[in-house]
Chain A
Amino acid sequence: MSKAYWRSLSELEDSPEFREKVAQEFPLLAEALTDPRTRRDFLKLAGASLGLLGLASCRWPKETILPFAGQPEGRIPGVPQYFATAMSLFGNALGLLVTSYDGRPIKVEGNPLHPESLGATHLWAQAAVLELYDPDRSRVVVERQAGQRVVSSWENFRQALASSLARPQARGGRGLWVLADGTPSPTRERLRQALSQRFPQASWVDWDPLLNVREAEGLALATGVRAAGKPRLENAGVIASFGADILLRHPSAVANARGFAQRRREGKNRLYVAEPLPTVTGAAADYRLAARPERLLPLLLALARELASSGLALSLPLPAAGELAPEEREFVSRLARDLRQAGREALVLAGESLPAAAHAMVFALNRALGAEGHTVLYFSAPPVQGSLAQLQQALEAGEVALLLILGGNPVVTAPHVPWSSLFSKAEVVRLGLFEDETSRLSRWHLPQAHFLEAWGDLQALTGEYSVVQPLIAPLYEGKTAEEVLALVLGYDSAGYDLVRETFAGLTGGVFQEELWRQTLHDGLWKGEGASPLTLTAKDARWVNELGHAPAAEGLTACLTCDTKVLDGRFANNPWLQELPEPLTKLTWGNAALLAPKTASQLGVRHGELVRVTASGKEVLLPCFVLPGTAENTVGLVAGYGRKAAGRVADNVGVDVLPLFGGSWTTSVRLEPTGKRGDLASTQDQQAIDRIGLEALGHRVGELVREVSASSLAAGLEPVAKGEELRPPMPWKERGFTGEYQWGMVVDLASCIGCGACVVACQAENNIPVVGKKQVQKGRQMHWIRVDRYFAGKPENPKFAFQPMLCQHCENAPCEQVCPVAATVHSEEGLNEMVYNRCVGTRYCSNNCPYKVRRFNFFNYFKDVTPTRKMQFNPEVTVRGRGVMEKCTFCIQRIEKAKIAAHNEHRPLKDGDVVPACAQVCPTQAIVFGNLNDSSSRVAKLFQDPRAYGVLTELNTRPRVLYLAKVTNSEEAS
């Protein structure tokens, strides 16, 4: 049943470094006193605190209360309001519900009515609120002339625009180019059409590195229609993914994760993943093949041939797949058998790095298997116009007079285009949130309004229309892309009017105020609803393209966008920089990912600085030996090494994109330098120490447990044996008198390790960001962390994720050692942390077996900017220096729900209290509630046979139980 789980290669080897890390919970403490700069700071602070003694005799400061002169209707000071809006990412819309506190947006949640959200969000939506308040956002219109940066104004720009439009205008728009970022906005589409009517010769290019353009092209090859697939994982029994990260980096990732987890909990799906670099999707797989990027296409072809030979009506002239390695053959034949058995419950998916023909193949397979309409629906793909190559050609030929760049950051994300020389041949106007690399090469930079502060609209892939509703007036002079387009068209309308006009057009020509208000309230308008497309297969000439797979020789670099900052667009967001990457647990930077075997062949050590060379370009970056990476493959992560992103992101990590020249893979050379790289990985930090337990000689359980789907179907024996959860207490047990007894269950079968809970917790609880140096010392402050474990052989390991947070032990070890009673137990079973009592001994953290307590080594909010302050949750104390903190089960939400229920003289219902981590979770892996109420979900799950506690043999009696992971491979059964 159980596997030996390990956290990193150094733990597997039980290296001295790892032992040291486990022994030293807060490493390098002495360093602070020897580092001259830190010591000076300390003396300065000591001096300042002496000075404060003198002030102590003064009176309290006089505080004023500033009520409204005329209060807006429905607004109660200090009572949060919620507004529906939407966010665009991966070319799809995600419906959101944003909390506004006294007029300031402070927290983002998912909109339960929106089909892509279902109440949850991804981590980027969580971090969006910090982006709004980013002090590095551009605030003014800037003109650059002959290298001089001049602060200008919208009025100046308007005049300049009129004169630079004059020439294209006279020639029917020839010379006017627009480069947009592929946001699926109906208003933008309407304005684009208006633009092409006004300027018939003008050209429009959509470009966003996150758009899965190849899928649309593939479907166009196969059917003649540019379409996009919408997976329905809630219906899928056997899923095969060829390099598609469907659970995290996908237009429907949140909905996918929900559907996947629903079936996984019942053991009713099986996931096959072939991928070069481990992703969270691969980590959730039952069968995972670490395949070099070039092998994905032959594998897909071999699968098709295998299915055809087993009698599946493919009727395609399939080319030969070539020779397969034994493990590839086994993977394919097992997958083919399972897919045939699953029939319409089967689903095949391909990643964005695969060529269009592969996507056409995937369509053909899904259709032949009967999956179309059941596990995958096709909708028309978000409109994408033109290509970067066309724009490049036109720029080179000097045919571009005026180039309007709306969002995006092509200078960073498409470095294969020689922008700096091309931009000098045209007048470039750039609208962006930041005055970044692209803006610095442009003539004009215009500040863009953030989606949380401006009107706009979005259309989901499945057709639902959402209004992007501002939560606050624009902080700076920003305008949206649509407003700038309107300027070009000479409308000069505000975004609000533009969106209302679009809405009127969509809803039948006449503006319906009632319907508009309903749409704003609900966050979406279904309309007639886009019905799935009925596609007809065209001729199959594309099949021949499948046979031309490049030979896999030498070392291949495989490009992937980061799971946190994506293509670098979120690079200046410190929450995302400090979030440990799901698989590597890396923060603040990227690395070259190598398989253990490849690393030893190349003579590279983990953490060593390596030189990667491709076609005359080279980059230096640290190497990360990641089990599960395909052999002879270097994983290079895009999104880092920004030069003009802001104070957070500048020079964090290394920009690897120049190596690739616009493709997904490239042949590279890699050589060690012998120098040590600068990595900040949390993978061995805050490790739950099992070494000591082994010495005790009675390890009752394992940290991560798993059960097989077949044993689940056959009726499972309880995973926690006998008295394991509540061992006999040597003294009298403490009873709890509270009306509510809080408890939490974390389902390891559902958790995909995406990290959305970590960011949500950070946003809700005012958790500071500490920076790379502090992370390297193990001082990150996250109240919830997602532990990642490997099991099995390092070449092809299994993965497991375990969210770890304060377990609110009924018999809490931390409470027993606090000399000042700063951590005590409440009558409702909560382990309370009282900041004002805490004197910072850190005994509690030493004694915590789960390693979930965090210490404020510094006053991390000392230099906080006024805009950043606006994000703070006023319901939670902003902690100062020298105190411990940890998960509170979102006590502010508990108290709020209790007061609201008691005010209405009703008991609290199950589901009234939802902590931030549980609310955001795309897979609903976290369930919280009242254990005293036997009908509550959490009380029922506490009785689930899969329920077990972590380290219960220490008699901690945790109030957090875990549900064993469910695996569905044949070996496990």
Chain B
Amino acid sequence: MSEHGRSRWVFPSWTNQLRVVVGVALVVVPVYLVVLVGYGASPRTTDVGYAPEQPVPYSHALHVGQLGLDCRYCHNTVEVAAKAAIPPTQTCMNCHARVRATSPKLISVRESYATGMPIPWVRVHDLPDYVYFDHSAHVRRGVGCVSCHGRVDTMEVVRQVEPLSMGWCLDCHRNPEPHLRPPELVTSMDWVPPEKPEVYGRRLREQLGVRPSTDCWTCHR
């Protein structure tokens, strides 16, 4: 075999530098991956605990916890529409035209009612725009408000308690049973299943025909 032919099978000298590159990569890549995954899944990224200040200091703890208002009094579209609508100012004024009619905390509500301009509520639970979540599909099948939104009845200021990440959604779509309850009790904040959640949930699941899909186009399209 000729000299030329043999050299084809010998690594060229520049590959010596690869040792350095590979060595650095071996150290850096695992660190990078750990940081990336840790950052991506951290509550800071998923916004758990996010509790922005609202233009009106509305207290769910007072209205739901103490006065016992049902969620659907204000979020009345939750059973028929994808969006659990933020109520129009008119809904506030149903009571506040008489109750605390002069409270300084309600100035912007009265202003909105008088001028017809909306109150700029700050969105707390913000899904990405490529997620097409439907409230009615969940509420009608017995997924309680509390499963995703937490104990709103104890919150002075609403905050996000769950990560609302895709993995978190899929946990429930793959195993919905522990999260099911009779559909008429979805708004109850302190409901506990009468028996083991898995057993009770399995029965409900059959009754209600709950077959959550994990296909991509269920939520993304």
Interface centre among A824, A832, A876 (most CB of B within 10 A): A832
User: How would you classify the secondary structure of chain A's contact residues: helix, strand, loop or mixed?
Assistant: loop
A69 in complex: contacting residue of B81, B82, B89, B216, CB < 8 Å = B89
* B211 cross-chain contacts in A, Cβ below 8 A: 739
Contacting B at CB under 8 A, from A881-924, are: 888, 891-892, 895, 899, 902-903, 905
A63–B123 CA distance with the chains assembled, in angstroms: 5
Which of A67, A826, A827, A902 has the most chain B CB atoms closer than 10 A to its own CB?
A: A67
Q: How many residues of B contact A (CB 8 A)?
A: 43
Contact between chains at B90 and A830 (CB < 8 Å): no
> What is the minimal beta-carbon distance from A470 to any residue of chain B, in angstroms?
21
Do A902 and B137 touch across chains, with their CB atoms under 8 A apart?
Answer: yes
Contact partner of B221 among A71, A78, A877, A902, CB < 8 A? A877
Residues in A with CB closer than 8 Å to B83 are 77-78
Q: Please indicate the chain A residues that have their CB under 8 angstroms from the CB of B82 in the complex.
A: 78-79
Which of chain B's residues have a CB closer than 8 A to the CB of A830?
215, 217
Please, how many angstroms separate the alpha-carbon atoms of A66 and B52 in the complex?
A: 16
Which residues of B (46-61) have their CB < 8 Å from a CB of A? Answer: 47, 52
Interface string of B10-29 (1 = CB under 8 A from A): 00000000000000000000
In the complex, A827→B213 CA distance in Å? 8
A835 neighbours in B (Cβ, 8 Å): 130, 220
For the complex, give the distance between the alpha carbons of A905 and B136 in Å: 12
Identify which of A70, A892, A902, A903 contacts B88 (C-beta below 8 A): A70
User: Given known contacts A63-B122, A67-B118, A69-B118, is B81 in contact with A76 (CB within 8 Å)?
Assistant: yes
A876 touches B85 (CB 8 A): no
Interface residues of A in 928-960 (CB under 8 A from B): none
CA of A830 to CA of B215, assembled, Å: 9
Nearest residue (CB) in A for B219 is A895
Which residues of the partner chain B approach A892 to less than 8 Å between Cβ atoms? 132, 221
Instruction: Please measure, in the bound complex, the distance between the C-alpha atom of A445 and the C-alpha atom of B220, giving whole angstroms.
Output: 47
B126 in contact with A60 (CB, 8 Å):
yes
Q: Determine how close the nearest CB of chain A comes to the CB of B32; give it in whole angstroms.
A: 14
Complex: chain A residue closest to B128, CB-CB: A836
| Residues of B participating in the A interface, judged by any CB pair closer than 8 Å | 47, 52, 77, 79-83, 85-90, 112-113, 115-123, 126, 129-130, 132, 134, 136-137, 140-141, 209, 211, 213, 215-218, 220-221
Query: A731 at the A/B interface (Cβ < 8 Å)?
Result: no
Q: Do the beta carbons of B217 and A888 come within 8 Å of each other?
A: yes
Q: How far is the CB of A840 from chain B (nearest CB, A)?
A: 17
Q: Nearest Cβ distance between residue A80 and chain B, in whole angstroms?
A: 10
A67 to B113, CA, bound (A): 12
Q: Given A67-B86, A78-B81, A739-B211, 14 other A-B contacts at CB below 8 A?
A: A65-B86, A66-B119, A69-B89, A69-B118, A76-B81, A77-B77, A77-B83, A738-B213, A877-B221, A891-B217, A895-B132, A899-B136, A902-B141, A903-B137
Q: How far is the CA of A60 from the CA of B220 in the complex (A)?
A: 20
Nearest CB in chain B to that of A63: its residue:
B123
**B-facing mask of A802-827, CB < 8 A → 1, else 0?**
00000000000000000000001011
Flag whether A501 is at the interface (Cβ < 8 A): no
Give chain A residues whose Cβ lies under 8 Å from the Cβ of B88.
67-71
Contact across chains for A67 and B130 when beta carbons are under 8 A apart: no
Q: Once the chains bind, are A836 and B113 in contact (CB under 8 Å)? A: no
A835 to B130, CA, bound (A): 9
Question: B209: which A residues are within 8 A, CB to CB?
Answer: 902, 905
Question: Nearest 10 CB-CB pairs, A to B?
Answer: A826-B215, A66-B118, A71-B88, A63-B123, A69-B89, A68-B88, A64-B120, A78-B83, A67-B86, A70-B90
Asked if A62 is at the interface (CB within 8 A of a chain B CB), the reply is: yes
Do the beta carbons of B213 and A69 come within 8 Å of each other? Answer: no
Q: Quick check: A70 and B132 within 8 Å, CB to CB?
A: no
Q: Specify the chain A residue showing the minimal Cβ separation from B80.
A: A76
| Candidates A60, A71, A875; contact of B47 at CB < 8 Å | A60
- Given the contacts A63-B123, A69-B112, A832-B215, A76 and B77 also touching, CB distance less than 8 Å: yes
> Could you jot down 25 A-B contacts, CB within 8 Å?
A60-B47, A60-B126, A62-B123, A65-B123, A66-B120, A67-B85, A67-B87, A67-B118, A68-B118, A69-B88, A69-B115, A70-B88, A71-B90, A76-B80, A77-B77, A77-B81, A78-B82, A826-B216, A828-B215, A835-B220, A836-B130, A891-B217, A895-B134, A899-B136, A903-B137
B132 touches A875 (CB 8 A): yes
Asked if A160 is at the interface of the complex by the 8 Å CB criterion, the answer is: no
| A32 in the interface (beta carbon within 8 A) | no
Complex interface: chain A residues within 8 A of B85 (CB): 67, 76-78
* Chain B residue at smallest Cβ distance from A78: B83
Chain B residues positioned under 8 Å from A79 (CB to CB): 77, 80-82
**Distance A64 CA – B126 CA, assembled complex (angstroms):** 10
Which residues of the other chain, B, contact A888 by a CB distance below 8 angstroms?
A: 217, 221
Q: Which residues on B sit within 8 Å (CB–CB) of A69?
A: 88-90, 112-113, 115-119
Q: How far is the CB of A78 from chain B (nearest CB, A)?
A: 4
* Complex: A299 Cα to B80 Cα, angstroms: 63
Query: Among residues 39 to 63 in chain A, which have CB atoms less than 8 Å away from a CB atom of chain B?
Result: 60, 62-63
Distance in angstroms between the alpha carbons of A79 and B88 in the assembled complex: 16
Complex contacts, B132 vs chain A, CB 8 Å: 875, 892, 895
Chain A residues with CB below 8 A from B137, complex form: 899, 902-903
The verdict on A834 contacting chain B, using a C-beta distance below 8 Å, is yes
A972 to chain B, nearest CB (A): 42
A836 touches B220 (CB 8 A): yes
- The smallest C-beta distance from A206 to any residue of chain B, in angstroms, reads 44
0 or 1 for each of A854-884: is its CB under 8 Å from B? (1 = yes): 0000000000000000000001110000000
CA distance A293 to B27 in the complex (A): 80
Q: Please, which residue of chain A has its CB at the minimum distance from the CB of B114?
A: A69
Residue among B79, B140, B216 facing the most chain A CB atoms (10 A cut-off): B216
Assess whether B121 is in contact with A65, with CB atoms less than 8 Å apart.
Answer: yes
A738 and B214 CA atoms in complex are apart in Å by 11
Q: Which residues of A are found within 8 Å of B121, using beta-carbon distances?
A: 64-67
CB distance from A595 to the nearest CB of B (A): 46
Residues of B within 8 A of A66 (CB): 118-121
A899 near B134 with CB under 8 A, answer yes
Chain A proximity of B167: nearest CB distance (Å):
14
A190 CA to B137 CA, complexed, in Å: 51
* Across-interface contacts of A67 in B (CB, < 8 A): 85-89, 118-119, 121
Tell me the smallest distance from the CB of B36 to a CB of chain A, in Å: 12
> Within the assembled complex, what's the spacing in Å between the Cα atoms of A605 and B120?
64
| Contact between chains at B220 and A834 (CB < 8 Å) | yes
What chain B residues lie within 8 Å of A895 (beta carbons)? 132, 134, 217-218, 221
Given the contacts A69-B89, A76-B81, A903-B140, A875 and B116 also touching, CB distance less than 8 Å: no
Q: How far is the CA of A71 from the CA of B76 in the complex (A)?
A: 12
B-side contacts of A832, CB under 8 Å: 215-217
Q: B residues within 8 A CB of A828?
A: 215
- The B-contacting residues of A in range 720-755, CB under 8 angstroms, are 738-739
* Complex CA distance for A738 and B130, rounded to whole angstroms: 23
* Chain A residues with CB below 8 A from B86, complex form: 65, 67
* Shortest Cβ distance from A68 into B: residue: B88
Residues of A within 8 A of B123 (CB): 62-65
Closest to A70 in B: B90
Bound CA–CA A664/B88 (angstroms):
60
Residues of B within 8 A of A739 (CB): 211
Contacts of A76 in B (CB 8 A): 77, 80-81, 85
Indicate the member of A63, A64, A877 with the most B CB atoms within 10 Å. Answer: A64
Q: Is the CB–CB distance between A834 and B89 below 8 Å?
A: no
B217 to chain A, nearest CB (A): 5
Q: CA separation between A828 and B211, bound complex, in Å?
A: 13
How many angstroms between the C-alpha atoms of A68 and B117 in the bound complex?
8
What's the nearest-Cβ distance from chain A to residue B121, in Å? 5
What CA separation (Å) do A827 and B216 show in the bound complex?
10
* Most chain A beta carbons < 10 A, residue from B81, B140, B213: B213
Q: How far is the CA of A66 from the CA of B117 in the complex (A)?
A: 9
Report whether A827 and B217 are in contact in the complex, using a CB–CB cutoff of 8 Å.
no
| Residue of B89, B130, B141, B215 contacting most chain A CB atoms (<10 Å) | B215
